[in-house]
C-alpha cells in the first residue's frame, strides 16, 4: 500500500511538471528564504499532542511552479503506561519538492520529500532505544505574504511509514536578497 501511494504521488508530480517543459523559465536554485517554525505533532500511540519546532529554508525554484525546500525539526513527548513514563523524541533532516498553486495572494502547495529521522525512546525503567530511518513524507499547506520581505506559512506533514502521526507547523518566513525574490 505504501509503495503504491509513493508511486502515485510521484506520477502526479511528473505529470503536472511535464506541462511546464515548454516554458521559458530558468531554475533559480539557492538559499532564497529562511524560517523558524513552531507547531505540534500528534502521535496516536498514546503520546498525544507534543511540541515541535525547527528551522526551514527555501532553496529556490526548479520550474515555475516546482520549488525545493528543506529543514531540521525536533519534537518530543512522553506517555504514562504500566506505572512508568516513556519519553519519545525525533530529530529530522529533510528535503521536499513542492508543487505551488499560486492564487492571487495565497500560494497553496503540495509536496513530497525524503528525510532522515533519528528517533529516541527512553523508558523510565530500561534501556534507551535509538533508530535512524530514511522517511519519505508528504506535506501540504499555504503561504501568505504579510510584508515584502516576510511570509507566514501553515503546513501539515506526515511520514509514509506512520500515518498515525502528523505534524502541524506555523512558520515566519524571512526572504533573503534585495527584493525578497522567494515567492
CATH number at residue 101: 2.40.160.20
113 assigned to some structural domain:
yes
Running DSSP on this structure, what letter comes out for residue 103? B
> Residue 124: which of 99, 88, 100, 149 has the closest Cα?
88
134 assigned to some structural domain:
yes
Of the pLDDT bands very low, low, confident and very high (cuts 50, 70, 90), residue 144 is: very high
By CB atoms closer than 10 A (0-12, 13-18, 19+), residue 35 is buried
Of the pLDDT bands very low, low, confident and very high (cuts 50, 70, 90), residue 63 is: confident
pLDDT average, residue stretch 14-31: 66
Lowest mean pLDDT among 13-17, 97-101, 159-163: 13-17
138 assigned to some structural domain:
yes
- For residue 4, how far is the Cα from the chain centroid? 21
pLDDT the model gives residue 27: 78
Q: List pLDDT tens digits, range 39-61.
A: 988 776 778 888 999 999 999 98
18 assigned to some structural domain:
no
Structural domain tally of the chain? Answer: 1
For a pLDDT cut of 70, what percent of the chain falls above it?
83
Torsion sign (Cα): 42, 96, 155, 37: positive
126 assigned to some structural domain:
yes
Contact yes or no for 156/52 (Cβ under 8 A): no
Q: What is the 3-state secondary structure (H, E, C) of 52-90?
A: EEEEEEEEEEEECCEEEEEEEEEEEEEEEECCEEEEEEE
Please give the residue that has the higher pLDDT: either 93 or 164: 93
Question: Is the pLDDT score of 145 beyond 90?
Answer: yes
> Residue 75: which of 119, 138, 23 has the closest Cα?
119
Place of cell 523508558: 123
182 assigned to some structural domain:
no
pLDDT the model gives residue 180: 44
What nine digits make up the cell of 62? 526548479
- Indicate the average pLDDT of the chain: 84
> Residue 91: which of 120, 114, 48 has the closest Cα?
120
pLDDT the model gives residue 2: 62
Task: Look at residue 129 and give its three-state secondary structure.
Answer: strand
Give the dihedral of Cα atoms 154, 162, 11, 30; nearest 10 deg.
50
Q: List pLDDT tens digits, range 83-136.
A: 888 888 889 999 999 999 989 889 999 999 999 999 898 988 888 899 999 999
- For residue 80, how far is the Cα from the chain centroid? 29
2 assigned to some structural domain:
no
Residues listed for the chain: 183
**Which domain, by its residues, includes 142?**
30-175
The CA distance from 51 to 39, in Å, is 6
Of the pLDDT bands very low, low, confident and very high (cuts 50, 70, 90), residue 12 is: low
129 assigned to some structural domain:
yes
Amino acid at each position: 500500500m505504501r509503495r503504491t501511494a509513493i508511486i502515485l504521488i510521484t506520477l502526479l508530480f511528473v505529470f503536472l511538471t511535464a506541462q511546464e517543459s515548454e516554458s521559458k523559465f530558468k531554475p533559480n536554485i539557492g538559499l532564497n528564504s529562511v524560517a523558524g517554525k513552531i507547531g505540534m505533532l500528534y502521535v496516536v500511540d498514546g503520546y498525544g499532542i507534543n511540541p515541535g519546532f525547527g528551522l526551514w529554508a527555501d532553496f529556490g525554484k526548479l520550474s515555475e511552479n516546482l520549488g525545493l525546500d528543506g529543514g531540521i525539526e525536533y519534537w518530543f513527548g512522553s506517555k504514562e503506561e504500566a506505572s512508568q513514563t516513556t519519553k519519545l523524541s525525533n530529530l529530522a533532516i529533510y528535503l521536499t519538492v513542492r508543487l505551488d498553486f499560486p492564487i492571487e495572494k495565497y500560494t497553496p502547495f503540495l509536496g513530497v520529500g525524503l528525510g532522515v529521522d533519528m528517533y529516541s525512546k527512553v523508558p523510565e525503567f530500561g534501556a534507551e532505544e535509538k533508530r535512524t530511518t530514511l522517511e519519505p513524507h508528504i506535506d501540504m499547506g499555504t503561504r501568505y505574504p504579510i510584508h515584502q520581505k516576510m511570509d507566514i506559512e501553515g503546513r501539515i506533514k506526515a511520514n509514509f511509514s506512520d500515518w498515525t502521526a502528523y505534524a502541524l507547523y506555523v512558520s515566519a518566513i524571512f526572504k533573503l536578497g534585495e527584493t525578497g525574490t522567494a515567492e
